[in-house]
Structure 1
């Protein structure tokens, strides 16, 4: 019998879908799907699917949500994903031990999850295992943090006010920004025709406070860093002047780039 999903996890996933998906992740789903050349009739696996923005894009392209599976270890994310797209095969699981037979998919995709896997080499080998020979894979990871100056500025603020552990929690998503290391990971796992492309995107938040608070109250606790309210309030106050340069008529907007790694299974 499956245990009920805690309301806390579901609420966090709903907040993720409402804020982070439109602010950061929605724009990349078509780019990853293009890189993977997802076509009608393909069987597609989305690893670290979150609330399913990329899996939903894949389902639109395959012409059948039944041909798409999404895998994530977070029960709250999967609960929201099921509500949004009940026809997709949502699975609880880890990238390092995919719960699928060999040669189950024509395409495997992963959008901004690889950097958090406990064993990246094993995860890449698992991706190749579940692909058919000649199958296609496309993975997105963030570029180095220096190419996301707003995030770099927030890391500097966190280092100064809250200490290096807080700054490191926000550095974590950018740890695979080195292109050579990323290519070596896939080649070392036995992938063929490995190609890397760096693309530019734009992060958009309603205002400075929502951007900073989303990271302090949303992301940092996920990484095990919970800041006391006085520190949060000080960071929010100082952020107003630091990020004023990124304000537009429609809110906060700043550039961020990502690497798309594509390969095939031999």
Structure 2
């Protein structure tokens, strides 16, 4: 029998996989894999792997002669990841203390996790440590909220109705959007001359309600903010107007979703 606390995490991870992966994350996996120059037969580590969309893309590149490991702090995410792809070595752990030997991987990759690490510089040092000399790092983070107006509109609604704590929780994913700050983190970690390239992806949700309710009931509680039902209802109602410009003729929500991919090579 599954522990009830773990089951809650698994349920949340299933919802994440069903909505957020296709809406936001899936399209970025090939770009990050390409930035890391992953080749057949290599060993790859995906840090903050979630339910494994990036690790699965890496596995397709390394083929049967290679190996992929995925690490995440959330056991529920890993339970879903293992169900989706049992060929990957999934491990619970923290980015700031990777449970791997020095020089163990040909490539270390991560998408949309760096901004949530308690010590991002230490996490980057660890990623560099476990990469072999000449190995590649590729890390994706979202661009700034100013360059993602759909989410900026949602944050404005939250700030007005639900308060600053809720708005701050929605701003958190965009915290490393400034390329200069991002480059400084890599330099502080001992990664010289990181290459930063900005891509513009396309987010798509089945409806405004699906997008916003997933944030209110999924993301905000993860960040320690729980809204009461009347507040949720008011946010959802006002979001319909605030985000209306992003609804297509087919009725789906679609908008630009830019992100930075940072690439670096470990010195030989």
Q: CA deviation at 1:3?
A: 7.0
- Structure 1's unaligned 5+ residue stretches are none
Q: State the match for 1:86 in structure 2.
A: 86
Q: Does 1:130 align with 2:130?
A: yes
Q: State the match for 1:171 in structure 2.
A: 171
Instruction: State whether residues 73 and 93 of structure 1, in contact with CA within 8 Å, keep that contact through their aligned partners in structure 2.
Output: yes
Instruction: State whether residues 138 and 262 of structure 1, in contact with CA within 8 Å, keep that contact through their aligned partners in structure 2.
Output: yes
Q: State the match for 1:114 in structure 2.
A: 114
Q: CA deviation at 1:65?
A: 8.3
Q: State the match for 2:73 in structure 1.
A: 73
Equivalence map 1:202-241=2 (5 Å): 202-241=202-241
Q: State the match for 1:256 in structure 2.
A: 257
Alignment partners' CA distance in 1, 2:181 and 2:265: 18
- Structure 2's unaligned 5+ residue stretches are none
Alignment partners' CA distance in 2, 1:66 and 1:94: 24
Residues 87-109 of structure 1: CA distance to partner in whole angstroms, max 9, x if unpaired? 10000000000000000000000
Equivalence map 1:55-74=2 (5 Å): 55-64=55-64, 67-74=67-74
SS state at 2:35 partner: helix
Q: State the match for 1:50 in structure 2.
A: 50
Instruction: State whether residues 71 and 92 of structure 1, in contact with CA within 8 Å, keep that contact through their aligned partners in structure 2.
Output: yes
Residues 6-34 of structure 1: CA distance to partner in whole angstroms, max 9, x if unpaired? 21111110110010000000000001001
RMSD (Å) for aligned C-alpha atoms: 1.4
Alignment partners' CA distance in 1, 2:126 and 2:82: 24
Q: State the match for 2:105 in structure 1.
A: 105
Residues 65 and 178 from structure 1, CA distance in 2 versus in 1: closer, same or farther, beyond 3 angstroms? farther
Alignment partners' CA distance in 1, 2:222 and 2:64: 33
Alignment partners' CA distance in 2, 1:202 and 1:161: 27
Deviates more, 1:202-211 or 1:61-70: 61-70
Q: Does 1:162 align with 2:162?
A: yes
Q: Which runs of 4+ in 1 moved over 6 A?
A: 2-5
Alignment partners' CA distance in 2, 1:250 and 1:199: 25
Q: State the match for 1:33 in structure 2.
A: 33
Residues 124-144 of structure 1: CA distance to partner in whole angstroms, max 9, x if unpaired? 100000000011000000000
Residues 76-124 of structure 1: CA distance to partner in whole angstroms, max 9, x if unpaired? 0000000000010000000000000000000000000000000111101
**How high is the TM-score relative to the length of structure 1?**
0.97
Q: CA deviation at 1:250?
A: 5.0
> Alignment length, in residue pairs?
265
Instruction: State whether residues 157 and 242 of structure 2, in contact with CA within 8 Å, keep that contact through their aligned partners in structure 1.
Output: no
Residues 129 and 206 from structure 1, CA distance in 2 versus in 1: closer, same or farther, beyond 3 angstroms? same
Q: State the match for 1:192 in structure 2.
A: 192
Deviates more, 1:135-144 or 1:184-193: 184-193
Alignment partners' CA distance in 2, 1:125 and 1:66: 24
**How high is the TM-score relative to the length of structure 2?**
0.96
Q: State the match for 2:182 in structure 1.
A: 182
Alignment partners' CA distance in 2, 1:5 and 1:156: 33
